[in-house]
Chain A
């Protein structure tokens, strides 16, 4: 047997683990966490600079740090981790060998070279163009080249994912349909293809433009296609993160989807409609019609939002059903009160779910409304929103799944279990603060990506309301808290990977995760009432509707314009 087809059997889950796939998962996950650490540090520096009382960095370093922060966390941390997830959801969950692991390493190294090249360009100081790099502002050629190489590497990862699905089907390593979590990963990979192609269409010419070979790139066309990449990549994150929610609910509680059909349809909505979302970034641009804006920004009548709202019910619903089957049937919320809140995988997942819905989701729909965008475009509200989605949602979900992955894939016992237990709470609280206070400052009009909102060196003078400055102070405090949560995560993860006690030697087979045995078959016959979930989604819905109309009221107070 060649080294490429060696397997071990996981003592915890009984899954056959392809060793070559396992190595790739480990490498991608570890590099992801390194970029999280670097990008997180830049983020902290940015927040401390925007805290008026601290105002840490000088202007040029602030814009540099902001550019690096965006690239390192939004792109490199998340995509390296998603590569690990893709390999996990295909090879491991399907009991299958990973297709072409050698090519997987080619992709991995391309991504590393690309990420380093982009970081070098930024650190050299002449590529502080922000993550979005809107033309005609120009970065050094190797900034664009780095991003292109990185994208090619990620594309290879997606191809391997598809190839592994084909192999698993051919070799009949699973029966019936692929698991829901793998389906989520499939959704993510399909959207990733669209995303990477969009990125190539715009970044390749931009690279040639930076070399002087192409003379002109239209700024509006750039923005349209760039966001075909930029926003769609957030939908990769949503799909991956919702998949992680389902996976953790299954691993920790043995939860089953309420209805495979509904959950899969919701993922399908993402594939069908999410690409339209580049319009979210073009709502106050010249040159595009209102008809175009309304159709695209709403994903054709909010059909992708519908997908997320469905998951927003079916994920807690699956948890409630699993808990009730295990006997936590008293009252409306016993299932939630007696959930394993001390398990960081569960607490992280649930905090991610709640914060993503309330902070990221509602605010995203609000500012994606054509006219409402007028009162928030390019204010701090925008980063407030996406710290609710990408940090509180995606990043926290990825941190949460790391804990079981450390045990299952790295086969190590968690180091610092106490630290791990508190980590999701500290990080979640910090990120919730970051998101809320930035949205607060943005509602008061404060510009994003701005070094000095006191305008000390400007010819004219202007002062934002004092409340806005207070919000930025609170944002800084929250960032410190989130950074502490991030450091806790990195200590646990790195500590476990390098110094954790190996679980391989323990002869005693670990008990199956709590609840796996207790889970019964889903479907109508054992389907329970879910009063707790209904209360939760009702609260969410009322908050959503109220907040949405409050903002129309706010819009109605600004100067009439047409």
Chain B
């Protein structure tokens, strides 16, 4: 449409300015309602504690080696990457809700009648959400470390793990922005991204995929979160990464592009009612 073929140099400047304004809006909201960030971290922390202390000894024995306290300690290391992705997915769920809220409150209609860079409205949501998800992730990591999680690799690998988490968060957040736009109510928007939080379970997040029945195993091994979790595991605990790294990055880039195009398309089409 016309918007995309506009005078490029003039637009480029306002894309950055307007996106910055929209990000400030997200950040201000985040500062004002810190409980939102806290709630994003809450579910993963509950699952972490549940899986480590209730199932940990048994699952620890299941993934090989002794059960009991040693098994539990081994299981903490195994489960943390899955828990981190659970946090990222939970953050994306919040994005869908806030996008849907914007839609119902008519402020998006206002933005759409203003001469502002179109993508900036959504970019603000996405980058704000990624930051929020990272803060929540930090909270989860603090709990994980407190109960005995010890990454065995060096700072460089940790940095790479952080980068991968940011990239994953960016990708799923674009998808959930689209889900927020496509939802006709805030309730729907809070439910549709739920499948994202299931993905770590139907993958290598909590138990190795080899233990699953054939059909499920094929799904689990080929869904995007599994290579991401395997890569995180490698970066944090030194397990072999193999081809998981490039596959994980390819998934993230692919999901980002699809999510972005879908969201922008919806944003430009949805009539403001």
Physical interaction between A and B: no
**Chain B interface (Cβ < 8 Å from any Cβ of A):** none
